[in-house]
């Protein structure tokens, strides 16, 4: 495939946008080459500026669970845009989507909408600190919760891709209140709690990690976190920006039957538009202004276009309960096919999968945390990425990202992908 137009556009973008991209994860720094510029998308496919069609396995990093340009979402946005794009005042639609989200997700009474997953996680931490009157938080190496200062102490995803897990611009004063733990390691968490008795406000975790590849929790890990939090007066925050409304109707809380104190959302809840949200039981949420002392605000929060897209998406998921089973079956089919051809070609690898999230790691050891994820062979991943791209398949340009499966993918698409993996892996 030829990507001449994309290369030209990237050169133009570099003149006026830092690095030529508005989010570092879109850059090809980790794999080499220049980013692909998209012109349109429909269903499971991207169409770039050079006229190439690509089978899409990032799906806008998760939101396009029902495929690109999903008709009910498109129609809802168009209809709402004709009535006005922003008011800075309450609308009935905000209450409607809030009520639906609360009905779908266990253990939440109230929800507040913001504009991104980063904003949701940042606000959840502030709320937890205000509610508990404690300052410190625990996060996990390799889990990414956005680019707020409190989280850029050792991040996964883009920050690791660039080899800068400790971001300049984050003050020492901020860093001292964030404690780093190892994912899937309860003893490590317990030790941190013991060393900081009555100082920790919250533990924030991706209950299924997606920023070091897909890394599911070990059996008992989330249950252990819940118990440690309960025993020590700590709030448990699930960052379900990726997993919310994707792995189950009610997210990971439903999937594993574990209660978090605060849950953060993004991606699917916005139907592809910029939306985030955080939710909890009323006792906690009532600490937010204007009811309580914890301040949080946003001029465009609850934007009518974003609310229309999110409401249409959640309605579609709520009305079609079988979608999560279909996604599970398609992802399992894809993972089994890739596993078969990589083994046949004597490639050293491991595959992680849960629900509609999957990742291929080029190392034979199990990938259970950031340390094991980092052992993957990045040179092999580069060949894998570019080989698939030449076959018309787009995966994330980083070994530290999960693939997101969409219901719009057909089994013909999956078979083609498996065949392409077979062809590419023969060249390793």
By annotation, the residues acting in catalysis are: 144, 239, 267
Q: What is the CB neighbour count within 10 angstroms for residue 33?
A: 17
Contact indicator for 280, 254 with CB cutoff of 8 Å: no
Helices (H), 196-243: 221-232
Contact indicator for 277, 122 with CB cutoff of 8 Å: no
Order the strands of the 393-394 sheet from edge to edge.
Answer: 38-42, 45-48, 53-56, 393-394
Look up tokens 């709690």; give the residue: 193
In whole angstroms, what is the distance from residue 138 CA to residue 221 CA? 15
* CB-facing half-sphere around the CA of 166: CA atoms within 13 A: 7
Q: Where are the beta strands (DSSP E) in 313-417?
A: 350-354, 357-361, 393-394, 403-404
Helix, strand, coil % in the chain, rounded to nearest 5:
40, 15, 40
Q: Which two tokens stand for residue 157?
A: 């995803």
């Amino acid at each position: 495939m030829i990507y001449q137009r994309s290369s030209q556009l990237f050169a133009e973008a570099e003149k006026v946008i830092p690095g030529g991209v508005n989010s570092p994860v879109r850059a090809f720094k980790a794999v080499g080459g220049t980013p692909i510029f998209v012109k349109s998308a429909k269903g499971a496919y991207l169409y770039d500026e050079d006229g190439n069609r690509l089978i899409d396995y990032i799906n806008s990093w998760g939101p396009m669970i029902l495929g690109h340009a999903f008709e009910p979402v498109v129609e809802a946005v168009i209809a709402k845009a004709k009535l006005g794009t922003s008011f800075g005042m309450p609308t009935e639609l905000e209450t409607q989507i809030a009520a639906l989200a609360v009905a779908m997700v266990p253990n939440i009474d109230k929800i507040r909408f913001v504009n991104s997953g980063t904003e949701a996680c940042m606000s959840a931490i502030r709320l937890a600190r205000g509610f508990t009157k404690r300052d410190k938080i625990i996060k996990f190496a390799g889990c990414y919760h956005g680019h707020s200062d409190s989280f850029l102490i050792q991040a996964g995803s883009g920050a690791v891709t660039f080899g800068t897990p400790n971001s300049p611009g984050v003050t020492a004063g901020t860093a001292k209140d964030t404690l780093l733990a190892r994912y899937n390691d309860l003893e490590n968490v317990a030790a941190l709690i013991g060393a900081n008795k009555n100082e920790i406000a919250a533990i924030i975790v991706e209950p299924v990690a997606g920023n070091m590849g897909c890394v599911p929790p070990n059996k008992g890990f989330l249950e252990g976190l819940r118990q440690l939090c309960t025993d020590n007066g700590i709030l448990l925050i699930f960052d379900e920006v990726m997993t919310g409304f994707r792995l189950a109707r009610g997210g990971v809380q439903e999937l594993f039957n574990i209660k978090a104190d605060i849950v953060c959302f993004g991606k699917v809840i916005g139907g592809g538009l910029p939306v985030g949200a955080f939710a909890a039981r009323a006792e906690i949420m009532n600490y937010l202004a204007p009811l309580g002392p914890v301040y949080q605000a946003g001029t465009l929060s609850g934007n009518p276009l974003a609310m229309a897209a999110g409401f249409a998406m959640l309605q579609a998921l709520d009305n079609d309960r079988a979608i999560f089973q279909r996604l599970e079956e398609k992802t399992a089919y894809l993972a089994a096919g890739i596993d078969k051809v990589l083994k046949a070609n004597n490639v050293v690898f491991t595959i992680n999968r849960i629900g509609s999230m999957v990742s291929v790691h080029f190392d034979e050891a199990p990938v259970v945390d950031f340390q094991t994820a980092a052992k993957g062979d990045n040179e092999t991943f580069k060949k894998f990425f570019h080989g698939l791209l030449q076959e018309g398949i787009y995966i994330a340009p980083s070994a530290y990202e999960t693939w997101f499966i969409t219901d719009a993918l057909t089994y013909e698409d999956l078979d083609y992908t498996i065949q392409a993996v077979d062809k590419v892996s023969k060249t390793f």
